[in-house]
Amino acid sequence: MSTSSAPADYSQLSQQLLQKLQAKQAILGVVGLGYVGLPLANLFHQKGFRVVGFDIDQRKVDALMAGKSYIGHIPNSRVGELVADGRFTPTVDFSKMREIDTVSICVPTPLSAYRDPDLSYIESTGRALAPHVRRGHLIVLESTTYPGTTQEVLRPILEAGSGLKAGVDFFLGYSPEREDPGNPNFSTSNIPKVVGGLDPESQAVSVALYSQAVPKVVGVSSMEVAEACKILENTYRAVNIALVNELKVVFDRMQLSIWEVIDAAKTKPFGFQAFYPGPGLGGHCIPIDPFYLTWLAKRYGLNTRFIELAGEVNTHMPRYVVEQVTEGLNQHRKSVRGSKIGIIGIAYKKDVDDPRESPAFEIIEELLHLGAEISYHDPHVPTLPRMRKYDLRLSSEPLTDNWLSGLDCTLIVTDHSAVDWNLVARNSRLVVDPRNACGKISSPRDHIIN
């Protein structure tokens, strides 16, 4: 973070914005009304602010204006409240940027086909906002990305398009989004926010913004530290998940239950944190963020072999699950070709409706390639959405005795709480359960592979 002394009028702009934030008179903007942006806009609204939400998808804007939610944990009734009192305005018109005081950018940061960072959403958002940036604006990037993105990518776009200078005319910061969907103990409102600013004034107004919404804000010395913080958090998880995924393969060969081993290990009150294997990583962070770091390391002439190895292990897991299905069907004297396989769970995580980067899509595609007949059940995903790499046209089947008993294999990808796992185990001929969803059922277990 720059420590150079700011011009007097820049400091005055900072004081004016601080006063407006503290008095809840500032108008707050959120760009990207998806799984991160809409909850943030909702939170700002709950704290008494007027909020403008920007998105390029007219369908999302129309749904919100009609009081309809497209995110499971935000009910229609709450969306109706958002628009009813006039303090929340969803729009595709980025010129409304001139009406607001702050904007938090919450857009996707996927990987390219070659696992390089795809910053196109950040870049296009910067170009859309830039003509409307005015003096005194605060712009905060929340999208997960590699250290240096806000400074090296977003800042030049904003300055070139506006004719203004960050640190002189407007404030710039970075605060990584932190979401744990499906976890009732944590939400946008109670997870601490890490904040890094371009300079002391940017830091002060960024901290003030998020202090109005969450109980704890952690200020760090630079935007780059805040960006690296998010990468570290998710790389830590990815590496540890890879460890247990690899051990699962080893223990399967030894005919040991990885689940029992983990349960025993976590009785140790120190030095161990339980992570669990699964059919592959999913979501918008863990399968992606470590590769941002490995890409950046190569720019510095370094190789992150440990992280890359973890990525290889995790990306192999969908294929390993397909191998388990193949082996299980072989034991029943069946081939994958022509077999009816039912997938339970499409969402990337338990009890959420978010299918982004879910291993289910890769598993389904591979099974279809092998000639299987596929159907699925997911109480949170009624139809398969079109994804960046997949376009599978299927709708969720009711979870019934008839559907289950008509399958040659039931494959559990996501262990939703709403699913009756005793029903699944009781009516399925063969269950492949890489989530251990049936681990505590009372039904016979001879036909369950986990």
**H helix or E strand, kind and range, residue 33:** none
DSSP string, 147-166: TTHIIIIIHHHHHHHHS--B
DSSP string, 390-429: -----BPPP--HHHHHT-SEEEES---TTS-HHHHHHH-S
> Which one is catalytic: 229, 285, 409, 438?
285
- Collapsing DSSP to helix, strand or coil, 27 comes out as strand
Cβ–Cβ < 8 Å for 380, 416: yes
d(CA 361, CA 34): 20
Alpha-carbon Rg for the chain in angstroms = 24
Nearest to 356 by CA among 381, 382, 326: 381
d(CA 207, CA 193): 9
How many CB atoms neighbour CB 287 within 10 A?
A: 23
Query: Which string of b and e fits 244-263 if b means at least 16 CB within 10 Å?
Result: bbbbbeebbeeeebbbeebe
438 catalytic per annotation: no
**H helix or E strand, kind and range, residue 104:** strand 102-105
Cβ–Cβ < 8 Å for 106, 121: no
The residues annotated with a catalytic role in the active site are 285
